[in-house]
A and B are shown apart, each in its own frame.
Chain A
Amino acid sequence: MAASDTIENMYDVALKPRLLRSLLKEYVPDLKHQFRNPSVLSYVVSAIKTHQLLSESAPPESYEKLIENWTAAVDCWINRVVALASSDTPDKCWAGICLLGVTSQECSRERFIASYAAWFNKLLVHLQSPADSHFVKVATCASLSDLFTRLSGLPNAKKDGIALSTKLIQPLLKQLNEDKFDASWEETIFLLCRILDIFPSSIQRHYDGVEDAIVLRLMSGKCNPSMLKKLGYCLSLLPKSRGDEDGWVLMMQKIMLSINIQLNDAFQGLEKETIRTEAMRLLLPPGKDPPPPLGGQSLSRGTVDNTMRPEHLQISRISTLILCCCELFTNSYPFQVAIHVLPLIALAKRVLMVDGSSSPGIAYMTTMKQEFFCSELPVLHSHILDLLTSIVKGLGSQLLPHVGSIIRLLTNYIETSTLPELRIKVYAIMKVLLLSLGVGISTHLTDVIVNNSLMDLDERGTSFVAQQKIHPETTTKTSHKKRKHASTSSSLEEQPDKDVFEVGMSPNMASLSVKIAALEALEALLAVGGSRRSESWRVNVDHLLLDVTRNASKGGWAKDGIWRDYQIAALQALLASLLSPGRTRPPHLSQGLELFRRGTREIGTKVAECCAHAILALEVLIHPRALPLLDLESTDNNYEVGNKWFSGNVHISNHAANNTFQIGTSRKAPDEPDSYKDDLYADWMRNGEDLDIVAADPGKDTDTSNQPPETLRDPSSEKLPSFDTTAVKVSESSKLEQVAPITAAKKSPMDRDEIMVESQLSLKTSKHSEDLLPSKSNVVSLGSENIADDASIKEVVEASDAGFASPLMMTLDRGKELMHESDNESMESIPDIVDVEPDSD
């Protein structure tokens, strides 16, 4: 007993039964006393969860007494809870039902298996009795749902689960059909969805009944939007209960037909007759029988709420049905489904084409009706864009045959669409398209994304006229932006954070979210196709992104809210612009780094996380390395690698007689064991040994070696030793002389391109300009066709490209390698003309 008398610490098992008993004594209501304060229940539940009081899982070495004690305590608990659940006082009954739900989630597996059937019956009573209050019913549904969830996790409970859940359907249906009151509806639907999810076959017999009930509610116009969403979800889960493709296809067809019929009604006078016949033809090829209408005959019973304007009701119905389509795409079904994509895209096109203007000469429409209609149209567009999103997400590469038409649809749509919400969605679809379909699609989306995001992100109203032309309404927006801008910079000193936040927020909430969406689309574009045909747009976009990020961060970093989201979106897009390979070294690298560095100081914020990630990613750009693939555990220690892949001594031939693999003249490999993994490190080291002066000033080294093409093509060649001395001179005196090469280097379009060329260099022409130190000329030969003249060299140099390594490393290497060679290999001069082709044959 001693063990249970004293408690060692909060982890002690002995604590648990004691705690449980005292909870029962002090907090859990009993039958005799009044239950005053329901909020104690949340304390009880959190204690149970934290200490796992009902788990009954003691470590094996615990005393038997202790375990018995615990079991007894849990018995007490369950007795009390079950008694409460059958109490006739509503609040106690409610408490009991809630705690029963918690118990079925938390109790040990054995206990659950032993008693779930009894608990189910207790709960079922409350679901069936009409007298119970809604509060009790809601709790009952929640607890039942948890009971089924737990049941579904047990291996052999499927049969039982189906049997039990079948019992539930009838009362649930009754509740759905009768209940006038919405309060317990949500939980009822949730429970239904849970059953559809876990034990779908139990609904099979009541399939039509459930469909009718849901559709009736959907169409009634009495539900709030969140309720409609749940109903839509539930409807889309229904095909699971049939368990085959046909059920799904039928459901989809019914929904599509229903949408079409409603659209025909709604779009009267707004579109040409041919469009609607075409839409119908796609859905129902001539000669095919139409499926029974959605929801059976339930609709004709007509419980339509007349307090709502018919246009509103109509659009809300269509929207909910579209939502069902979305769910059908995004839910996972246990069977394979084949679906015609064309009708869906035609539907999207049909809706997006209607902008509320009555097509001339078709039909008469009252201004009143048009006004109502136009007020509801954006909702419809927004939902149809959601449908497009889920089609794109759900079909992935299968969408390819139709991607062309989707691109055209979106491109046309974003030109005219000015509402922020809709633009956001179009950007989002484009982003998903880019990320899922990759390089192939990037060329087709580049123009539209770049043009539109340039417009949306424009901060200074530079393209004011253009904007006005396309977006008459944005004039006001722009002035807001201007104001924000001005106050941002002026208020910097005093209380930057708040000020910017407010100024940025209040007038421009919507336009900020459009900007976020545009930034995200740009980021995706840069990630996927940043280097593709990029000459025309990269410069602008890179510049824009730097500007946007700078301005976003001017007043400091926001802790949360949409302004922070905007800042993060800007930072991420900027990172993408720095990382996405272009023709030159990212021109805004240093400014970008500065921004990220500032961001990391916001300790503990999302911005700091994002910036830390960016700095990590950019580090590779600054210190590029091409690490050899090396197995350290390998017992094969003869494989000594120098600082470059295969450049050390490689003698394996003694290992396997038939393996011939011998490469390279030996180069001194650094002795430090950990250095031979890291070529960059090795380079630095080598640098230090060989040529201190250059190593002392690596930055300069980098810059200088990034020489203009003129130097490259300089045909004069010099002796290497003399080269060393110039090196010293240059790096010491520098500055003046350096100006020219640096600017030249900036202009040079080819920093990353020589990589391919690089390894050939000592074989090829080798020459150095007199005063530029690590300039090692690289002239490229592409195999047999060769460097006959300067022009061809240039061409080749420019032609070469690709992400083999990045410019800096290369240039660094080049310089150092040269030094090294001069030291190590041969101090004699390289022959004057090295145009010999070793590989010509």
Chain B
Amino acid sequence: MTEPELVIASSPTDAGISCWDLHTGAEHLRYRTCSSPSHGLTCVGGRFLASSQLRETKSSTGSILYWSWNKPQVEVKSFPAEPINPLVANSEGTYIAGGGASGEIYLWQVATGKLLKKWHAHYRAVTCLLFNDDQSLLISGSEDGSVRVWSLIMVFDDLLRGKAKQPYEFSFSEHSLKVTDVVIGYGGANAIIVSASEDRTCKVWSLSRGKLLRNIVFPSIIDTIALDPGEDVFYAGGRDGKIYIASLNAVADPNNNYGLHILGFLSEQSKAITCLALSTDGSLLISGSEDGMVRVWNTKNHNITRIFRHAKGPINNVVVVRQSSLMSNRGTVNSQMPSVKRHGLSLPPPLEKCANSADENDYKAVIVPRIDPDRSVEASYISIQSLSNQILELQRQGSSAAAEMEIERLKLDRSRSMQMIQQWETKFQSLHQFCVTELLDGEKAGNA
């Protein structure tokens, strides 16, 4: 049985956030007032939704909104120092990173809202941000065409950064135009990064060596990429409305008509594809398009299995969220811990606008309640164990406690034995008496 998964979608026009169950197609709540930039919608640790907001060009501050799962209204509003485009949270939901229009990257702690770091990452606006699979690296793409890999440890530690030649791990600058999307695969240090750009190419990078592995030229500008979990292929959504399938591991036939490494495409003559997402098992591909439709494709037979309608206007974000993580955090399964429920539902405070440099040392880690799955009841019974320990103690007769009980028992034994002795004594006495009398009687008789 597949775990329930939710598809959430948002758009640059104020059409809110739609939410559907991927497998049943049922529509859930629609969260109101959201006009997100591309890559600006994220689910924080499965606990709540967050989205950066498009602002009028004149406004000097940005805006980030939170929605909890069960309320359609915006619950928490934050106003960072500048408009934030991409917004991403790490999988645990402890940090939120946002990319600013000036090329700054902001890193907040979710639980306290504290702005932990802010650094100048790119020359121009940051367009996309993501964490790698073990959450230790942050990868950013920018309008200036570069893709950079940041190690969070280095970001936090000035000394380490001072020692390194550059503040980032890698900087890939082969794209000639704005980077539109970046994805990363599995494999820790051996992962690959795939980036798309307005220069009509997608490039595959090696994280272990920091080099370009493959360059794929598409017939159209690619705005979004989704990586097959097995990393056989990746899907690239183009402005021409087609979703191209490009090979990674897969062997492309050299003689096809699409171009080198391109295996084919999915198309429904829609408008430009703006965002893609894959279900966890990789069997369903979800695409959002400028025509306001979310289409769900079967990646095996390339049929459309479902179409959701989000709005009239364009969609620019689709995200797939696993339901199981929501459930446990909503506290439905855990009646024993009422406070978990309470904390799961209440949202963290808004994100700080600027870092308070005075309290650099004031960083507080937040330990969230854990539910011990290994609390087996059977193991926590102790009386049998204690019994066998005590029996051992008794048999060895070494310990004072065992001796104490033994003494008690012996005392009782003794008193019982004393009684016995007395009984025997009286018996003996009477027998003696009897014998003596008998003897005397006999003698008397003999004498007589």
Assembled-state Cα–Cα distance A678/B402 (Å)? 68
Contact of B239 with A by CB under 8 A: no
Residues of A within 8 A of B303 (CB): 636, 652, 655-656, 659
Which of B60-68, B249-257, B286-294 binds A? B249-257
Pairwise interchain contact A783-B156, C-beta atoms closer than 8 A: no
Q: Knowing A98-B387, A135-B404 are in contact, say whether A437-B134 is a contact too (CB < 8 A).
A: yes
CB of B443 within 8 A of chain A? no
Q: Which residues of B contact A174 (CB under 8 A)?
A: none
User: Which residues in window 643-662 of A have CB below 8 A to B?
Assistant: 644-647, 650, 652, 655-656, 658-662
Instruction: Specify which of B232, B253, B367, B368 is in contact with A647 (CB 8 Å cutoff).
Output: B253
User: Which residue of chain B is the closest to A655 with respect to CB atoms?
Assistant: B303
* B387: contacting residue among A42, A443, A530, CB under 8 A: A42
A799→B404 CA distance, assembly (Å): 80
- Chain B 232-269 per-residue mask, 1 if CB under 8 angstroms from chain A, else 0: 11000000000001011111111110011101111111
Determine if A400 and B112 form an interchain contact, defined as CB atoms under 8 angstroms apart.
no
- Chain B 326-369 interface residues, beta-carbon cutoff 8 Å to A: 337-340, 343, 361-369
Bound: A440/B136 CA distance, A: 5
Q: Is the Cβ of B304 less than 8 Å from the Cβ of A646?
A: no
Given A338-B364, A444-B160, A802-B204, do A133 and B228 touch, yes or no (CB 8 Å)? no
Judge whether A839 and B260 touch: CB under 8 Å: yes
Q: Which of A460-468, A602-610, A626-634 contacts the other chain?
A: A626-634
Interface-lining segment among A137-145, A314-322, A479-487:
A137-145
Q: Which residues of A lie under 8 Å from residue B385 when comparing CB positions?
A: 142
With a cutoff of 8 Å between Cβ atoms, the chain B residues found around residue A339 in the complex are 364-367
Q: Is the CB of B189 within 8 A of A756?
A: no
Contacts A135-B405, A335-B343, A636-B300; is A664 near B253 (CB within 8 Å)? yes
B188 at the interface (CB under 8 A from A): yes
The interface size bin for chain B is 35 or more
Task: Name, among A397, A443, A639, A665, the residue most crowded by chain B CB atoms within 10 Å (CB to CB).
Answer: A397
Closest to B260 in A: A839
- For residue A88, which residue of chain B has the nearest CB? B412
Q: How distant is the Cα of A2 from the Cα of B371 in the complex, in angstroms?
A: 51
Question: With A334-B369, A339-B367 in contact, do A439 and B214 touch (Cβ < 8 Å)?
Answer: no
Closest B residue to A94 using CB positions? B405
Q: When the two chains form the complex, which single residue of B209, B259, B395, B409 contacts A838, counting CB atoms closer than 8 Å? A: B259
- Interface of chain A residues 193 through 239 with chain B (CB within 8 A): 194
Taking CB atoms, residues of chain A closer than 8 Å to B211 are 799-801
Q: How many A residues face the partner with a CB closer than 8 A?
A: 125
Q: A98-B390, A441-B153 are in contact. Are A45 and B208 (CB under 8 A)?
A: no
A530 lies within 8 A of B339 (CB) = no
Q: Is the CB of A440 within 8 A of B249?
A: no
Identity of the chain A residue whose Cβ is nearest the Cβ of B253 in the assembled complex: A664
Task: Name the distance in Å between A45's Cβ and chain B's nearest Cβ.
Answer: 6
Q: Does A803 contact B (CB under 8 A)?
A: yes
Q: Does B3 contact A (CB under 8 A)?
A: no
Chain B CB within 8 A of A276 CB? no
Instruction: Give the chain B neighbours of A135 by CB distance below 8 A.
Output: 390, 401-402, 404-405
Knowing A397-B135, A401-B156, the reply to whether A340 touches B215 (Cβ < 8 A) is no
Measured between beta carbons, the chain B residues less than 8 angstroms from A184 are: 401
B445 interface hit (Cβ, 8 Å): no
Residue contact B251 to A90, C-beta cutoff 8 Å: no
Beyond A149-B380, A190-B382, whether A337 also contacts B367 by CB under 8 A is yes
Any A CB within 8 A of the CB of B448: no
Q: Is the CB of B405 within 8 A of A90?
A: yes
Pick from A333, A438, A639, A800: contact of B300, CB below 8 A.
A639
Residue A536 lies at the interface, judged by CB distance under 8 Å to chain B: no
Digitize A782-818: 1 where CB-to-B-CB distance is under 8 Å, 0 elsewhere. 1111000000000000011111110000000100010
A782 to B339, CA, bound (A): 56
Encoded as 1 (CB less than 8 Å from any A CB) or 0, chain B from 387 to 423 comes to 1101100110001111011001100100000000000
Q: Measured between C-beta atoms, what is the minimum distance from A270 to chain B in Å?
A: 25
Q: What is the CA–CA distance of A546 and B207 in the complex, to the nearest angstrom?
A: 27
Residue A726 CB within 8 A of the other chain: no
Contact indicator per residue, chain A 77-113, by CB within 8 Å of chain B (1) or not (0)? 0000000000001110010001001100100000000
Q: Are B112 and A438 in contact (CB under 8 A)?
A: no
Of A184, A190, A401, A659, chain B has the most CB atoms within 10 Å of the CB of A401
B12 within 8 Å of A (CB atoms): no
Question: Shortest CB–CB separation between residue A143 and chain B, in angstroms?
Answer: 5
- A34 closest partner in B (C-beta): B413
Chain A 318-351, CB-CB to B under 8 Å as 1, else 0, gives 0000000000010011111111111000000000
Chain B residues with CB below 8 A from A639, complex form:
300-301
Closest-CB distance, A392 to chain B (whole angstroms): 11
Within 8 A of B (CB), among A126-171: 133-136, 138-139, 142-143, 145-146, 149, 153
- The stretch among B31-39, B89-97, B427-435 that forms the contact with chain A is B89-97
**Are A403 and B153 in contact, CB atoms less than 8 angstroms apart?**
yes
Interface 9-residue window, one of A57-65, A696-704, A758-766: A758-766
Q: A440-B137, A664-B253 are in contact. Are A89 and B412 (CB under 8 A)?
A: yes
A334 and B259 within 8 A (CB):
no
Tell me if A735 is interfacial: C-beta within 8 Å of chain B: no
- Complex CA distance for A149 and B212, rounded to whole angstroms: 60
Provide the bound-state CA to CA distance between A531 and B252, in Å. 27
Query: Nearest Cβ distance between residue B165 and chain A, in whole angstroms?
Result: 13
Q: In the assembled complex, which residues on chain A have CB atoms less than 8 Å from the CB atom of B266?
A: 659, 661
Q: A655 to chain B: which residues have CB within 8 Å?
A: 301, 303
Among A146, A243, A333, A397, contact of B382 (Cβ-Cβ < 8 Å): A146
Which residues of chain B are within 8 angstroms of A39 by Cβ–Cβ distance? 391, 394-395
Known contacts A444-B153, A646-B250, A663-B263: A532-B208 contact under CB 8 Å: yes
Tell me which of B302, B362, B380, B409 contacts A90 (CB under 8 A).
B409
A408 within 8 A of B: yes
A404 near B264 with CB under 8 A, answer: no
- The answer to whether A549 has its CB under 8 Å from any CB of chain B is no
Q: Report how far A785 CA is from B230 CA in the complex, Å.
A: 29
Q: Which of A337, A440, A528 contacts B151 (CB 8 A)?
A: A440
Contact between B363 and A401, CB atoms less than 8 A apart: yes
Least Cβ distance of A749 to chain B in Å? Answer: 12
Q: List the 8 shortest-distance A-B pairs measured between CB atoms, nearest first.
A: A404-B157, A438-B134, A440-B136, A101-B383, A783-B215, A142-B386, A664-B253, A645-B250
Q: Which residues of A does B touch, CB under 8 Å?
A: 38-39, 41-42, 45, 49, 89-91, 94, 98, 101-102, 105, 133-136, 138-139, 142-143, 145-146, 149, 153, 183-184, 187, 190, 194, 243, 282, 329, 332-342, 394-405, 407-408, 437-444, 527-532, 534, 581, 626-631, 634, 636, 639, 644-647, 650, 652, 655-656, 658-665, 755-756, 758-763, 781-785, 799-805, 813, 817, 838-839, 841
A-B contact pairs, 17 of them (CB 8 A): A101-B383, A101-B387, A133-B404, A334-B339, A338-B111, A340-B361, A398-B365, A401-B363, A645-B232, A656-B303, A658-B269, A663-B263, A664-B255, A664-B256, A799-B209, A803-B190, A839-B260
6 further A-B pairs in the complex, CB-CB below 8 A; given A760-B261, A804-B231: A133-B404, A133-B408, A399-B365, A626-B249, A646-B251, A759-B252
